[in-house]
């Protein structure tokens, strides 16, 4: 794999970790809404940066989703659609609400909306990447590589079967 492909893969891996962190926190009894919104913004930001890297478009260090959308539009005007999804509204969660100077705690409804926006934006970005030729790693393939070569049950699997009977 070349360096650019590795970099795209790493942007996506980091983005997916942000999503997982945010979603896991949402499942707690008292979700830290500011943290969840931050991770949803990061999820979107990193997918857009992955798209830009895939298309060899340079970008400065920024958390501004609108700026990233504009750069993505230089590759495909279809990224204009992200404004109708309110993707750029996530920028505020990147830095402004993370510090106590401008204390703000998003409501639970606002947090759910951030998650919904992030999911829609990333779905769009994934589809664009795939249509443009990016091959996402196949989870099932990597899992099968870890499994027993001859598909015979392992000792642990045999014990689990016995326990379930």
Domain span at residue 107?
Answer: 3-136
How is residue 121 written in tokens?
């934006």
**List of residues 6+ apart from 31 with CB closer than 8 A:** 25, 108, 111
**List of residues 6+ apart from 62 with CB closer than 8 A:** 68
Instruction: Tell me 102's DSSP state.
Output: G
Instruction: Tell me 148's DSSP state.
Output: -
Q: Is residue 87 part of a domain?
A: yes
**Nearest Cα to 158, choosing from 146, 144, 148?**
148
The confidence score (pLDDT) of residue 104 equals: 82
Q: How many whole angstroms separate alpha carbon 129 and alpha carbon 79?
A: 12
The total number of structural domains in the chain stands at: 1
Q: Is residue 83 part of a domain?
A: yes
The confidence score (pLDDT) of residue 36 equals: 97
- What is the domain-level CATH number for residue 8? 1.20.120.330
Q: Is residue 116 part of a domain?
A: yes
Q: Is residue 43 part of a domain?
A: yes
Query: What would you report as the CA-atom Rg of the chain, rounded to the nearest whole angstrom?
Result: 19
Task: Give per-residue pLDDT as tens, 24-50.
Answer: 999 999 999 999 999 999 999 999 999
Q: Is residue 156 part of a domain?
A: no
The confidence score (pLDDT) of residue 2 equals: 67
How is residue 120 written in tokens?
């829609």
Q: Is residue 147 part of a domain?
A: no
User: Could you tell me the pTM of the whole model?
Assistant: 0.81
Instruction: Specify whether the CB–CB gap between 94 and 41 falls below 8 A.
Output: yes
What 3-state DSSP class applies to 1? coil
**List of residues 6+ apart from 12 with CB closer than 8 A:** 46, 47, 50, 136
Q: Is residue 52 part of a domain?
A: yes
To the nearest whole percent, how much of the chain has pLDDT over 70? 81
How is residue 6 written in tokens?
């590795």
Instruction: Specify whether the CB–CB gap between 18 and 42 falls below 8 A.
Output: yes
Task: Give per-residue pLDDT as tens, 60-113.
Answer: 999 999 999 999 999 999 999 999 999 999 999 997 776 677 778 999 999 999
Instruction: Tell me 153's DSSP state.
Output: P
């Amino acid at each position: 794999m070349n360096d650019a492909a590795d970099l795209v893969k790493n942007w996506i891996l980091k983005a997916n970790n942000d999503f997982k962190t945010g979603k896991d926190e949402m499942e707690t009894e008292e979700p830290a809404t500011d943290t969840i919104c931050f991770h949803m913004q990061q999820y979107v930001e990193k997918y857009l940066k992955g798209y830009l890297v895939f298309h060899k478009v340079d970008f400065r260090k920024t958390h501004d989703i609108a700026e990233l959308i504009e750069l993505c539009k230089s590759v495909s005007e279809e990224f204009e659609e992200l404004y109708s999804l309110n993707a750029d509204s996530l920028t505020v969660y990147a830095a402004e609400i993370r510090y106590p100077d401008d204390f703000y705690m998003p409501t639970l409804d606002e947090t759910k909306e951030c998650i919904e926006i992030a999911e829609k934006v990333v779905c769009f970005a994934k589809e664009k990447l795939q249509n443009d030729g990016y091959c996402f790693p196949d989870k099932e393939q990597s899992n099968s590589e870890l499994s027993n070569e001859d598909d015979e049950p392992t000792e642990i699997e045999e014990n689990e079967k016995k326990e379930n009977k």
